[in-house]
């Protein structure tokens, strides 16, 4: 028997759950979620009242001094290229970011990682916004992004772990360090860095190989530039969830 506990109201099993279940040859599958009774795809769904408490499990003790986990060899690294997809080109804020410098940095980072056999993982985002729906045809790599990644995964959450099976894929290959790149800096890239750190990975956040766009604060009316937002992400991640590095620093360590 295999049981997955999720905070999502959907009864869909995550990719990682099914990978693990198949690996262990378990036939009976259950998902516990804050929804209603249903039976979907041979999965008996168990109702959990939304008012009930959540149980969260970590793979390592919390570090109250704000420190990061141990630093593994860079040979145990994987490059995550997050949400570098056509969907963004159909959003009203495109191309408000510094796309050309981002493109150059990411291509250099990816080429350097491939040269030393660091696996490249492509992550794509799907949600209810029209450009991010699978049926839109836009959930595909930007034309300049090299193909043939070690693996490509689709996520439905801001972080790249929750419903993709990424954690299991990385652990099977002995990966201990994540190199973060992609779109958007403060959203899916930062969230993935935080979750990855909490799961026990060392994290290199390559800011110049991420892209974001200006935002206006809904209450104050103040507009923050893409550079403002990137600096804020670096501030809150550095030394607590990630090591902030340039492309050159990252590649020189491989």
CB 33 within 8 A of CB 6: yes
Q: What is the mean pLDDT of the chain?
A: 84
pLDDT-derived band at 113, boundaries 50, 70, 90: very high
pLDDT in tens, 64-89: 445 655 555 555 999 999 999 999 99
Contacts of 18 (CB under 8 A, 6+ apart): 29, 165
Average pLDDT over residues 235-244: 98
List phi, psi (to 5°) of 213: -140, 160
Residue 36 has pLDDT above 70, yes or no: no
Strands 223-224 and 215-216 turn out to be antiparallel
pLDDT-derived band at 5, boundaries 50, 70, 90: confident
Residue 231 has pLDDT above 80, yes or no: yes
Which comes out higher in pLDDT, residue 16 or 149?
A: 149
Q: DSSP letter at 242?
A: B
pLDDT-derived band at 34, boundaries 50, 70, 90: low
Q: DSSP letter at 120?
A: E
C-alpha span between 6 and 114 (Å, rounded):
35
How is the chain split into domains, by residue range?
2-47, 74-252
Which comes out higher in pLDDT, residue 55 or 128?
A: 128
CB 79 within 8 A of CB 118: yes
Q: What is the chain's length?
A: 254
Output the pTM of the full model: 0.74
> Which residue(s) pair with 82 in the sheet?
123, 182
Average pLDDT over residues 227-242: 98
Residue 130 has pLDDT above 80, yes or no: yes
Give residue 98's pLDDT. 87
Q: Which of 69-83, 150-164, 204-218 is predicted with the least confidence, judged by mean pLDDT?
A: 69-83
Domain 74-252, CATH number (from 3.40.50.850, 3.30.930.10, 3.40.50.970, 3.40.50.300): 3.40.50.850
Region of 188 (left: φ > 0; alpha: ψ -120 to 50; beta: rest) is alpha
Average pLDDT over residues 51-72: 46
Q: What are the tokens at 35?
A: 């929804």
C-alpha span between 98 and 248 (Å, rounded):
19
């Amino acid at each position: 028997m295999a049981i997955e506990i999720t905070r999502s109201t959907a009864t869909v099993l995550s990719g990682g759950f099914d990978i693990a279940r198949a690996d262990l040859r378990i036939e009976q599958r259950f998902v516990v979620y804050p929804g209603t009774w249903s039976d979907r795809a041979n999965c008996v769904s168990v109702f959990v009242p939304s008012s009930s408490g959540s149980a969260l499990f970590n793979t390592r003790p919390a570090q109250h001094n704000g420190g990061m986990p141990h630093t593994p060899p860079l040979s145990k690294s994987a490059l995550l290229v997050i949400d570098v997809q056509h969907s963004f080109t159909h959003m009203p804020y495109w191309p408000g970011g510094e796309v050309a410098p981002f493109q150059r940095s990411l291509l250099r980072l990816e080429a350097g990682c491939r040269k030393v056999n660091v696996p490249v993982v492509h992550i794509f985002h799907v949600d209810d916004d029209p450009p991010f729906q699978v049926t839109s045809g836009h959930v595909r790599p930007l034309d300049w992004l090299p193909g043939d990644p070690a693996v490509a995964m689709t996520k439905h959450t801001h972080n790249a772990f929750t419903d993709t099976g990424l954690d299991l894929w990385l652990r099977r290959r002995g990966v201990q360090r994540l190199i973060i790149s992609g779109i958007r800096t403060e959203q899916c890239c930062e969230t993935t860095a935080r979750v990855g750190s909490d799961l026990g990975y060392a994290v290199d956040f390559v800011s110049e190989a991420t892209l974001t766009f200006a935002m206006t604060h809904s209450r104050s009316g103040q507009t923050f530039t893409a550079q403002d937002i990137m600096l804020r992400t670096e501030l809150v991640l550095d030394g607590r969830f990630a090591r902030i590095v340039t492309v050159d620093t990252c590649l020189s360590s491989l």
